Amino acid sequence: GAYTHLATPKRTGGDPLRLAFCWAHGRRKLIKAKPKKGSPIVDKALLRIATLYKIEDQIRGSDPDQRRAVRQELSRPLVDEFFAWLQAQAGRVSRKSDLGKAMAYMLKRQDGFRLFLDDGHVDIDSNLVENAIRSPAMNRRNALFAGHDEGGRNWARFASLISSCKMNGVEPYAYLRDLFTKLANGHLDRDIDILMPWAYVRQPNGA
């Protein structure tokens, strides 16, 4: 697939990327694979994953260095135990069963599932991103009337800015009005980073 290609040495445009896998997707696969009669393996797996999410709740909004430090201390031992336990349980389940396939999915990709432990910028799952792109995806037909390719790219840039504002608790209209005012007054290109929504919210009065 496209994501796999990005992680290969043949990737166009730079070095191979490291893929971070989404724990919510892994959890969802386990839930869907749970037999109607129930499964102690799935129940225990979900409890272990829930413990990781409780730690994430405690560090949500912290800076990347702090998130990494907490994950190294608290989450890494739990993740190590989870995959060791999951590997042991895999031998008790048919590899051809839905549960066997769900377990194999996580075991095969455990390097990607572990990536959030070493990088405080990486979330434990992609839920935030998926929620952010849902609105543009629903408005995809509107983009057909962008006029031309550059119009479509401009539409995407504004959609990205507005979503970033919402993610950072910034009112989009006020932000864009202030942004265009600063640009019209000659704000220097080299200082453009301080105009990004995540930096804007930290400035006194958004100035």
Specify if 136 maps to a domain. Answer: no
Residue 25 tokens read as 């997707």
Task: Please tell me the pTM assigned to this model.
Answer: 0.67
One domain for residues 36 and 111: yes
> Domain of 98?
4-126
* The two structure tokens encoding residue 20: 């971070």
Closest to 46 measured CA to CA, from 33, 60, 58, 59: 33
Residues 35 and 83 in one domain: yes
| Residues 97 and 29 occupy one common structural domain | yes
Are both 117 and 172 inside the same structural domain? Answer: no
137 inside domain: no
Residue 38, Ramachandran bin (φ over 0: left; ψ between -120 and 50: alpha; else beta): left
What is the per-residue pLDDT for 136? 63
Of 126, 156, 186, the domain-final residue? 126
Number of folded domains in the chain?
2
Per residue in 116-146, pLDDT (tens digit) is: 999 999 999 987 776 666 666 666 666 666 6
